[in-house]
Homo-oligomer: A and B are copies of this chain.
């Protein structure tokens, strides 16, 4: 895997790059829709291509439990299994063990956890996580990390960070002789000295790219910004930087401004299913009664299929009637909003006007958010 840094904004940290993977190139900064269970919920691969999605994220934890990584490997790998012939990044399972599994017990060996599906007990180790992601055939494999909450004690954050570094070394050992790239993850909670140690130690292991983990777990916007501002400059400029699990449209703009190249988040797809829609005029909660007789498109400034063909009144009817077409049309729109934002940012960086774009866009969002 190669990352090519093509331009840096003259006034700030925003970067334009290109990540080249076995399944093609990804123009960065890029947003990866989340395809947890080998599907971006409600979307076909053709839908994703039509939206301009370049790379998706899939999940080692979920696919290990169901249908099983060996089953997918026997089907020719995840790309073939799900009909997606473009880049895939897989999450290592660290975050899911932290957020989904019950009765987890973490030791240096790995993390014992109970499946959220059937309560069965499993031990996820760095080696198993790499085995899973390698079997899936991911273009980018993530190191297995230990996540902690934003309100964790310093002692716990330190222990988890050091363990994450030790596990990163084991992941580096475990993944050999594949065309996949391996990204290390910088943990350390909200403690600057821990983040510094984590960044230094992780970079010393020489990964193909670096992620900032442990954010979007309940901390404030300022706390998130401080961590990114501290860590991003410590990562090698010539390699891709990935901010995991982030975030809102504003978070993406602020992340790009601080030199982030890759993002993933369930927000556009999950919010779509609960009827919370992103538009150029602010959020639309489609179930609200005011939309029942609203003949306008969801977002007059949007060119997606949903906005071209349907009214807010129809989208509200579908949502209130619990029709699954609501989830589908809403997902199409929210993803279109996110992907258009990323394309706009890439264009702004290319043209050397990212900082003015950033200011204008954030001001526009502020104006309309209630």
Residues of A whose CB lies within 8 Å of any CB of B are 37-39, 41-46, 66-67, 71, 74-76, 81-83, 292-293, 295, 305, 309-311, 313-314, 316-318, 320-321, 323-325, 327-329
Contacts and interface: CB of A to CB of B under 8 A. Distances in A.
Contacts of A323: 37, 39, 41
A215 to B, nearest CB: 28
Given A292-B71, A324-B328, A81 B38 contact: no
Given A324-B327, A324-B328, A75 B43 contact: no
A320 B37 CA distance: 11
A120 to B, nearest CB: 16
Contacts of A310: 83
17 contacts: A38-B314, A39-B318, A39-B323, A41-B323, A41-B324, A41-B325, A42-B325, A43-B325, A44-B305, A44-B328, A45-B309, A67-B317, A75-B314, A81-B311, A83-B309, A83-B310, A83-B314
A277 to B, nearest CB: 17
Choose among A37, A39, A305, A325 the residue with the greatest number of B CB atoms under 10 Å from its CB.
A325
A57 B313 CA distance: 21
B42 A320 contact: no
Given A324-B327, A327-B324, A71 B313 contact: yes
Given A66-B317, A67-B317, A311 B41 contact: no
A256 B288 CA distance: 46
Contact of A81 (B42, B44, B83, B314): B314
A310 B90 CA distance: 21
A37 B328 contact: no
Contacts of A83: 309-310, 314
Nearest to A45: B309
B325 A293 contact: no
A313 B42 contact: no
A324 B67 contact: no
Contacts of A309: 44-45, 83
Given A44-B328, A71-B292, A75-B295, 16 more contacts: A38-B318, A39-B318, A39-B323, A39-B325, A42-B325, A44-B325, A44-B329, A66-B321, A67-B317, A67-B320, A81-B311, A81-B313, A81-B314, A82-B314, A83-B309, A324-B324
B39 A74 contact: no
Contacts of A295: 75-76
A66 B320 contact: yes
Contacts of A46: 305
B325 A75 contact: no
Contact of A321 (B37, B76, B81, B316): B37
A324 B40 CA distance: 10
Nearest to A42: B324
A63 to B, nearest CB: 9
A75 B311 contact: yes
Q: Which 6 residue pairs spanning A and B have beta carbons closest together?
A: A67-B317, A37-B321, A83-B309, A39-B325, A324-B324, A39-B323
